[in-house]
Every structure is written in structure tokens, then in C-alpha cells.
């Protein structure tokens, strides 16, 4: 029989409701009866003791808030009776050791990927078009229309057919399209952005690093880059960023500057001819077996709920530990959602300097938010709060579970590229798309994305595997969810069992045998983080 409430860690003084509870209902828990004082929706938290004003509220073994007045035992925690609070961290407090999981069954497993000259292996083979400055967005859109019409099969949108029938006054039926793809082994993708000029020069420099990271990402076979000519993000700045990441870049990168080429027609003519020739050559690359150690998996969450921290996120953590034990790479981002768990992460840093870098990045990030008149405590969204995540520290403690238990081998700022296998920390905002954009720009060739409420987020060059924390979401939004972890909530599967199932799924996606829902929806989100305030 399914439990009604669960305590995540032994030191916790609150529990999570696994089902809806009625006021007056008596729940047996750890040898005692607890009377539920208020109607409590599943995913919300129940006080396991009486709290006086200012008392510390502990969940996941860490401080997640303080009582904002008296909270009786058995009552529900809300934004009215709890306020955000987290412990201050100043450095390492204890040594760290790790026992890696047994990965014997995975050692000989491979995925089918695209091998690059620098030793990286892609899970996709993409030719990427992008501008250095927003002034070229229109030309990118023109090229997108040209190349997609000729290279990709055109499926008739059913909603277009609906509108056509409304306009014509009679029912239209879309014919099942036949495949007219010109190339089998290459995707052509296009991204635009609002940056590259205006603002401060540092914005353009960070954007240059991000775009260089996309070119260097193993999922990219080559790129066509458009420049206007007079913008802050000069071609030379982009080339310097590319050289800093990979001095021996062997991928074809075609760069065009409009102010040097004359008319739009002349420039587009050259781009179409040159790019088609390069895409045709990139299409010759085929998938070959690669060890799991070549996977670089980003760990992301968005639209989290009260179950995310006890089902989906811990499952990602177990997957992360498996990857690290196999000499692969996992990357934990979203620094505002690590508020309150800094001490554990600092203690896990292999290099003490990385621990210092992490704390400084967190301090600088929080200061920028405070200077703007806000704070990390404003991070939980209305959807988070509605589903039981009522403080930033509570949300963070569950979000951090995505990083598993392995040592932290490197701490990266936004735009820095992965160089070390193992668990990396990457400074990004919690904003779903800005963070996912950063993960892929740092070299992730797959992203695991947990959600409890549902989000369609995708990426133009990397598969985004959407993981729901509960079965109801998978049933309600099957078009955006790839795999669900509700069986953990129902105690039908353990975290480790779910993680092994998920790693198998990742291998299928990385091999191109399963298409993610985001890819099927053609969800190609790209939003660079402009280094201001973004939670």
C-alpha cells in the first residue's frame, strides 16, 4: 500500500504529502499518529513537530526556511507561515570520499555517435546557421526558409489545414507526406538572438564564447556565420573565442560580412552555394560505436513540483553517478537553485580553488540580484509554490539532487567549456532556456530535463530528454514528456532501478534510435544569458 507521507532524510522535521490529505485525517508515521490540521494537497509539506516563530525548518538534511510564527504539528507549510532561509557558507568544513556505484554491466555498452577529429563524439550531426549580431536575424530567417523548403520534408501542419478549411468553408484533409529529405545524415538548424551590439562590451564577449561553444559542441558538423560588420561582436572577437576553446578547430566554419559583400542578393547567393557544398560533405559522416564515457549530459529542471526532489531529480542524480563512474561527464547548472546546499557542494570539490570559485560566483550572482531590488528568495515561480515548493532553499535542496553524490571536478562560469570528465558545476540562471542554452554551449551533447508541471523546452543542436516527476503529467502531456518517474512515488521502483532504465533510454536517444518529443515538436529554443538579473 502506498504511503501517505514521506520524510526524505532522517534529520528532517517536515514530511511530503504523497496523496491529498483531509483536515482531521489521522496518518500513522514512524510509530505515531499525526492528525492533519488542514486540507493538504499532495506534494506539499506537513510539520512533524510544533514550530515556534524563528525555528529552523529542515528538509533534505539542510535548512530550507524558518517558521514565520507558530506552526502546529500536522499543519501544512505555506508561504505565509514559512520564510526563506539558508545557512551561510565560507569554505570546506570536512573531507569528502565517494563510493562509486557498480557499473560492471555498463562497461562494454556503447552508443552510436558522430566522431569528431578532436576526440569528442556527437549524438546529432547538425549544420548550424547563426548571426553574430541581431541585425542579421532577417537574413538567417530567409536562409532558414530557403534551406528547409529544399532540404527537409515539409509536413502540412494540421492547424494550417484547419484554418484553410475555415477560410474555404469546406473540410481540407492533409495528405500523409512522403520523405523528401535530400540528406540522410545531417540536420540543418538556425538560431537567432537579440545580442551582438548595444549594451556593454562584456555582453558581446560572453555571447562570442557561447556561440563558439555551439560550434565546438560535438553535435555540430560545421557552421555558417553571418556578420554585419560594425557591431560589438566583431568576427575577430568570435574567432578569438573559438580559438580559446579549440586552437586546432578542424570543422568548416563559413563566415560572411554583409558590409564587405555589397547587396543582400550577392551575399545570400554566395552563402547558399558555399553552405550547400559544405552540408553535402558533412552528410558523409555516419554514426559509429562510442563508449558511454563520451556522453556529456546536462542536468536541468523546469516547472518543478513537490515531487521533483523525491523522484525525477534523485533519479538524475543516480544517472549522474553512473556516468561519472564510467568516466563520462555530468553538468549541474542553475546556481540560484543551489542556494542552501553550497556547503555540501563545496565539500565535494576535489580542488579547493574550485570551491572558492563556486562560492564567489554564487556571491556575485546573489549580489547582482539584490542590487536590482530582488533576491534568490524570489526564485520559486507561482507554479512551484502552488505545487509545494514554497522557498528557494526548499526548491534548491530538491534541485541539487540532480547532481548525485560524486566529487565535483570542475566549476565553470557561463560560456566556459567542459574539459574534465566527471561532475561539473556550471554557473547559469535558473531560467529554463537560458540555462539549457548555456549547458549546450559548454559542450553537453544530451540534456536531461526534469519537470513536474510540464514545459516544452528544446534546443537546436542537442536532444533534450524531458523527465516527469509524476505519472499524471505524462498522461496529460504525452507530446512533451519522454520518460516519467511516477513509479518511484508509488514505491513500485527504486531510484537505482529507475536510473538504469533512464541510462538505457539515453543511449537510445544518443544513438538516434529514439527521437525526443522536443525534437519531434521542432522545439529549437536558444536564449543567451545577458549577464544581468535572471533567476
What pLDDT does residue 174 have?
Answer: 52
CA 487, CA 465: separation in Å to the nearest integer?
Answer: 18
Q: What is the mean pLDDT of residues 496-503?
A: 98
CA 406, CA 325: separation in Å to the nearest integer?
Answer: 9
Show the cell assigned to 485: 518517474
What pLDDT does residue 385 have?
Answer: 79
Give, in degrees to the nearest 5, the angle at Cα 48 between 44 and 49.
130
What pLDDT does residue 200 have?
Answer: 84
CA 362, CA 370: separation in Å to the nearest integer?
Answer: 12
What pLDDT does residue 535 have?
Answer: 47
186 exposure class (CB count in 10 Å sphere: 0-12, 13-18, 19+): buried
Q: What is the mean pLDDT of residues 340-358?
A: 95
Beta strands 408-412 and 464-468 are: unpaired
Nearest to 396 by CA among 60, 68, 96: 60
Q: What is the 3-state secondary structure (H, E, C) of 416-483?
A: CCCCCCEEEEECCCCCHHHHHHHHHHCCCCEEEEEECCCCCCCCCCCCEEEEECCHHHHHHCCCCCCE
Say if CB 245 and CB 417 are below 8 A apart: yes
Span 67-116, pLDDT tens digits? 999 999 999 999 999 998 888 888 898 999 999 999 999 999 999 999 99
315 vs 170, residue with greater confidence: 315
What pLDDT does residue 391 have?
Answer: 82
Say if CB 250 and CB 117 are below 8 A apart: yes
Phi, psi of 147 (to 5 degrees): -70, -40
CA 471, CA 312: separation in Å to the nearest integer?
Answer: 11
Output the DSSP codes for 242-282: HHHH-TT--S-EEEEEHHHH-SHHHHHHHHHHHHHHHHHHH
Instruction: For residue 152, give Cα distances in angstroms to 143, 148, 401.
Output: 13, 5, 40
Span 413-438, pLDDT tens digits? 999 999 999 999 999 999 999 999 99
Instruction: For residue 29, give Cα distances in angstroms to 15, 33, 435.
Output: 10, 6, 39
Span 208-262, pLDDT tens digits? 999 999 999 999 999 999 999 999 999 999 999 999 999 999 999 999 999 999 9
CA 407, CA 351: separation in Å to the nearest integer?
Answer: 10
Say if CB 322 and CB 106 are below 8 A apart: yes
Nearest to 6 by CA among 36, 24, 27: 27
CA 421, CA 444: separation in Å to the nearest integer?
Answer: 11
Nearest to 363 by CA among 380, 348, 342: 342
Say what angle helices 201-216 and 235-245 make with each other, to 10 degrees. Answer: 50
Say if CB 48 and CB 15 are below 8 A apart: yes
What pLDDT does residue 463 have?
Answer: 98
Span 443-496, pLDDT tens digits? 999 999 999 999 999 999 999 999 999 999 999 999 999 999 999 999 999 999
DSSP-derived secondary structure letter, 337: G
Banded pLDDT at 379 (limits 50, 70, 90): low
Q: Taking 60 as the threshold, does the pLDDT of residue 178 lie above it?
A: no
Q: What is the mean pLDDT of residues 370-380?
A: 71
| Mean pLDDT (the chain, rounded) | 92
Amino acid at each position: 500500500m502506498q504511503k501517505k507521507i514521506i520524510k526524505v532524510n532522517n534529520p528532517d522535521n517536515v514530511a511530503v504529502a504523497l496523496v491529498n490529505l483531509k483536515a482531521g485525517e489521522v496518518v500513522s508515521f514512524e510509530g505515531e499518529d499525526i492528525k492533519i490540521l488542514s486540507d493538504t494537497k499532495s506534494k506539499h509539506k506537513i510539520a512533524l513537530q510544533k514550530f515556534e516563530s524563528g525555528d529552523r525548518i529542515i528538509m533534505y538534511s539542510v535548512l530550507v526556511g524558518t517558521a514565520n510564527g507558530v506552526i502546529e504539528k500536522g499543519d501544512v507549510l505555506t508561504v505565509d507561515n514559512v520564510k526563506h532561509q539558508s545557512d551561510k557558507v565560507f569554505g570546506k568544513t570536512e573531507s569528502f570520499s565517494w563510493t562509486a556505484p557498480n557499473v560492471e554491466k555498463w562497461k562494454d555498452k556503447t552508443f552510436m555517435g558522430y566522431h569528431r577529429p578532436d576526440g569528442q563524439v556527437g549524438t546529432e550531426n547538425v549544420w548550424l546557421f547563426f548571426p553574430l549580431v541581431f541585425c542579421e536575424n532577417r537574413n538567417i530567417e530567409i536562409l532558414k526558409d530557403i534551406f528547409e523548403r529544399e532540404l527537409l520534408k515539409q509536413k502540412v501542419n494540421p492547424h494550417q489545414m484547419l484554418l484553410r478549411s475555415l477560410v474555404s468553408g469546406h473540410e481540407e484533409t492533409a495528405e500523409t507526406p512522403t520523405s523528401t529529405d535530400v540528406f540522410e545524415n545531417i540536420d540543418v538548424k538556425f538560431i537567432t538572438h537579440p545580442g551582438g551590439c548595444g549594451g556593454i562590451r562584456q555582453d558581446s564577449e560572453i555571447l562570442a564564447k557561447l556561440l563558439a561553444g555551439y560550434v565546438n559542441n560535438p553535435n555540430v558538423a560545421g557552421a555558417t556565420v553571418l556578420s554585419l560588420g560594425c557591431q560589438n561582436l566583431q568576427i575577430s572577437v568570435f574567432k578569438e573565442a573559438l580559438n580559446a576553446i579549440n586552437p586546432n578547430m578542424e570543422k568548416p566554419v563559413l563566415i560572411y560580412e554583409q558590409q564587405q559583400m555589397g547587396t543582400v542578393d550577392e551575399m545570400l547567393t554566395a552563402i547558399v552555394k558555399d553552405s550547400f557544398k559544405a552540408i553535402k560533405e558533412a552528410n558523409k559522416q555516419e554514426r559509429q560505436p562510442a563508449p558511454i564515457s563520451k556522453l556529456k549530459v546536462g542536468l536541468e529542471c523546469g516547472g518543478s513540483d513537490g515531487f521533483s526532489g523525491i523522484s525525477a531529480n534523485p533519479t538524475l542524480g543516480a544517472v549522474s553517478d553512473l556516468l561519472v563512474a564510467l568516466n563520462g561527464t555530468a553538468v549541474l547548472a542553475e546556481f540560484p537553485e543551489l542556494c542552501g546546499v553550497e556547503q555540501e557542494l563545496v565539500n565535494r570539490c576535489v580542488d579547493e580553488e574550485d570551491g572558492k570559485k563556486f562560492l564567489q560566483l554564487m556571491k556575485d550572482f546573489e549580489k547582482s540580484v539584490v542590487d536590482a531590488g530582488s533576491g534568490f528568495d524570489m526564485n520559486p515561480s507561482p507554479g512551484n509554490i502552488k505545487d509545494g515548493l514554497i522557498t528557494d532553499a526548499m526548491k534548491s535542496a530538491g534541485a541539487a539532487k540532480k547532481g548525485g553524490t560524486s566529487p565535483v571536478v570542475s566549476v565553470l562560469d557561463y560560456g566556459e567549456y567542459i574539459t574534465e570528465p566527471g561532475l561539473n558545476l556550471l554557473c547559469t540562471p535558473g531560467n529554463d532556456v537560458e540555462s539549457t542554452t548555456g549547458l549546450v554551449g559548454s559542450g553537453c551533447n544530451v540534456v536531461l530535463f526534469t519537470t513536474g508541471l510540464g514545459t516544452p523546452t528544446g534546443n537546436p543542436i542537442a536532444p533534450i530528454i524531458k523527465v516527469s516527476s509524476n505519472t499524471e503529467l505524462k498522461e496529460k502531456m504525452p507530446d512533451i514528456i519522454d520518460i516519467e518517474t511516477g513509479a518511484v512515488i508509488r514505491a513500485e521502483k527504486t531510484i537505482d532501478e529507475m536510473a538504469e532504465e533512464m541510462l538505457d533510454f539515453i543511449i537510445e536517444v544518443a544513438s538516434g534510435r529514439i527521437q525526443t518529443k522536443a525534437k519531434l515538436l521542432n522545439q529549437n529554443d536558444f536564449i543567451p544569458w545577458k549577464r544581468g538579473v535572471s533567476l
